[in-house]
Chain A
Amino acid sequence: MDSALIPKGVNRCPLSELILKLGPVVAVLLWGVVAMFMCWIKGLNQTNMNDSYGFALWIWADLTVIALGGGAFFTGLLRYIIGKDKLKNIINFAVLIGFICYSSALLILAIDIGQPLRGWFIFWHANVHSMLTEVAFCLTCYFMVLTIEYLPLILENRQIDRLPFFHNLSHNMHEIMAVFAATGAFLSFFHQGSLGGVAGVLFGRPFAFREGIFIWPWTFFLFTWSAAACGPCFTIMLLKITERITRKKLVKDDVVDLLAKIAGWMLTTYIIAKIIDTWYWAMVTAPSLGFELTDFYSNNPFYGMWILILEIVVCGIIPSIILISKKGRSNPVSFMTAVVLAVLGACVNRWAMVLQVMAAPVLTFEGWPMYYPSWQEVATTLLPVAYGIILVALSYRYLPVFPQEVELNPVESEDQGGKAKKAALSGAEVSPARA
């Protein structure tokens, strides 16, 4: 039914099958939409946030998707600025994931604020001292860049590409994409960093507070660094999931190996910096404020020392060692383990830097308040996941996301009839004029 929209030379499942498979995802999406409107109409009393947990699941989700969406800017930097040409085969997918992550972050932020209609105040009454102001400006600008980067891919849809204007526009945009990649890298450096700064500047919260250079606490650099390390791992993880679902190889191993190797070295250097930061904070910063390291990891039912070990050792050191070794990358099991652990590491780090900051008591006569999200918070957090799955599915179906797909998955033809049948299945046109 939609074969005219499907790229040439590739196989796609029937539309009815796609709709059936996306059914449950759409249901989750609608569940999230209902929760979203409940939060907008009834207010944030629909959540389990409270005055101790002003930041909770949503802010964690925001920070996490932005970190994991960092694969887009870093892959773009490697491809267009550093000149790793091989990565052109995965850059479309990285941009798509980045676009989903950043649009999700903006949506969650729109739900998370108490007065959504006043959201524009952050631009109009901007406080230049606030890290959140920088986040808002850079995030919005970078989302525009991502849209510009994603647009040529949409324009390459078979039907749109037939129109000369869009064909030329797409071509010309590709020509100047290095400019946007550089802009994206610049903006990302600042907003990824500012998100780290959001926690690091809180000098009233010893768990979060870090010294730094000029106005930037160390978390500023650590967040950018970890996004550059874990973002590509997230891109690779989703690529492997997509390959598993489509039962196709979509990107050649040498491309994935190159990206994983670079991510591995980024992760290695990041985790060394993170260990130094943690050590200095535990031995110097926190004691100067009257806290010992164990104060932040005891006397509560959840936040134990395990979280630090999980983040730094299990999700930091172990995946680093695997990813920088050729042997580790060539073994599919250890490779996937490393990629998943790296992604989990970013999630744990952001969790600690948002929720543990809120939980750790500062006044001596207060305890650890605990928090679990309401179903509305869970639903609105799953909403972007469902939206992401749908956008990936539709982009994969109708856009040439993976340039190597045709080469890696040739549509074989036995005879003229078979060719026509295969071509029809793939969505290629069978009219003599186009054949």
Chain B
Amino acid sequence: MKNDQAKKYGMVIDLDKCTGCGACMVACMAENNIPFKEDESNKLDSITWMRVYQLTNGKPYPETDICYIPRPCMHCEGDHGHSPCVSVCPATATDYSQKTGIVSQIYTRCFGCRYCMAACPYHARYFNWWDPVWPNGMEKFLNPSVSPRMRGVVEKCSFCFHRHQLAMNKAFVEGRRELEENEYQTSCAQACPSGAIAFGDLNNPKHTVNQLAQPDNAHGGQPKNPEVFRLLEKLGTNPKVYYVSSREWVRRAGDNYLKNENPGKAH
């Protein structure tokens, strides 16, 4: 039994389906024991591994249009695994897995220099400014598969990696080395009521994410599907979260363009 084929787990989010309900955010917080404050209104120091942004096209009524963009960690591959955050961490507390394509965070090794946060253009990394405090009794309902984080370290979306570990354990017990698509799904993908989030192996043609994004691995994973885009494609971060939208202004909002620049065939 061999498991030679490297996986590249990724996500495709259909922005035309997303209603901005925030179920993905709630599911993520519950699944990953994400601490919260009594007052969560200041988003600059609260932790939201999955954060939903609201965009508008800036046009007056009746042409006003709104789009919600859920933003998890992009699990950037960069150039051969040198994602923006992994290459800068001085203590190797964050790592890029060549087996899964997942960018991990080792909480017990992080000493809180926050260089990775400075490096991440997506603001997907969060610092624990406080020790986690749970409402009375809530400790009993924390997820035992996910370790809570202490004050002074950085954390971020892990693509629910503990679910991957549990699924792999189960598969091993059953004598398998490969997972079915539905055996490893993130909590946000499962919670999305409109089915906007697809998750799976971008390298596997049978998986929905591959079929939707049609990533071109010869060109840094750029999507072949003209309605699919990645955030800040030009920076070369090579993210593994793709977005689908039929709306041109939404696709254009995914990256920065010069005033007279043609966004290109995909946009």
Contact = CB atoms under 8 A, between A and B. Distances in A.
Interface of A: 43-45, 50-55, 112-116, 118-119, 121-122, 124-127, 129-133, 136, 198, 201-206, 287-292, 295, 357-358, 362-366, 369
Contacts of B171: none
B118 interface: yes
B231 to A, nearest CB: 7
Contact of A364 (B109, B111, B112, B253): B253
B130 A364 contact: no
Interface stretch (B17-25, B27-35, B90-98): B90-98
A121 B111 contact: yes
B256 A202 contact: no
A99 B109 CA distance: 30
Contact of B231 (A198, A201, A205, A363): A363
B84 A203 contact: yes
Interface in B82-140: 82, 84, 87-93, 109-115, 117-123, 125-131
Nearest to A358: B118
16 contacts: A44-B127, A44-B129, A51-B125, A112-B113, A114-B152, A116-B111, A125-B91, A127-B87, A129-B87, A130-B90, A204-B120, A290-B234, A290-B261, A358-B118, A362-B121, A365-B69
A359 to B, nearest CB: 11
B111 A114 contact: yes
A399 to B, nearest CB: 36
A399 B27 CA distance: 65
B177 to A, nearest CB: 31
A364 B129 contact: no
A284 to B, nearest CB: 12
B265 interface: no
B213 interface: no
Contact of B256 (A131, A291, A357): A291
Contacts of A288: 234
B45 A50 contact: yes
Given A206-B235, A363-B232, A45 B130 contact: yes
B53 A365 contact: yes
Interface in B197-254: 231-232, 234-237, 253-254
The residue among A55, A127, A206 with the most chain B CB atoms within 10 A of its own CB is A127
Interface of B: 42, 44-45, 53, 55, 69, 78, 82, 84, 87-93, 109-115, 117-123, 125-131, 150-154, 231-232, 234-237, 253-259, 261
B187 to A, nearest CB: 22
A55 B112 CA distance: 11
B132 to A, nearest CB: 12
A277 to B, nearest CB: 20
Given A131-B88, A289-B235, A362-B232, A202 B119 contact: yes
A292 B111 CA distance: 36
Given A45-B129, A125-B93, A364-B253, A50 B121 contact: no
Contacts of B55: 365
A118 B111 contact: yes
Given A50-B129, A362-B121, 16 more contacts: A44-B129, A45-B130, A50-B44, A51-B126, A114-B153, A115-B150, A118-B109, A121-B109, A124-B91, A125-B91, A132-B115, A203-B235, A206-B235, A292-B258, A357-B118, A369-B44
A125 B92 contact: yes
Nearest to B151: A43
B141 to A, nearest CB: 25
Nearest to A55: B118
Contact of B118 (A54, A124, A291, A365): A54
Contacts of B112: 44, 113-115, 118
Contacts of A50: 42, 44-45, 129
A204 B126 contact: no
A204 B152 CA distance: 23
B237 A201 contact: no
A129 B89 CA distance: 8
A205 B90 contact: no
B119 to A, nearest CB: 5
A295 B150 CA distance: 37
A118 B231 CA distance: 34
Given A51-B123, A127-B91, A292-B259, A122 B111 contact: yes
The residue among B44, B256, B259 with the most chain A CB atoms within 10 A of its own CB is B256
B201 to A, nearest CB: 25
A176 to B, nearest CB: 33
Contacts of B259: 292
A136 to B, nearest CB: 6
B111 A130 contact: no
Give me the 4 closest cross-chain CB pairs, A-B, nearest first.
Answer: A114-B112, A114-B152, A290-B256, A54-B114
B87 A130 contact: yes
Given A55-B114, A130-B90, A364 B256 contact: yes
A202 to B, nearest CB: 5
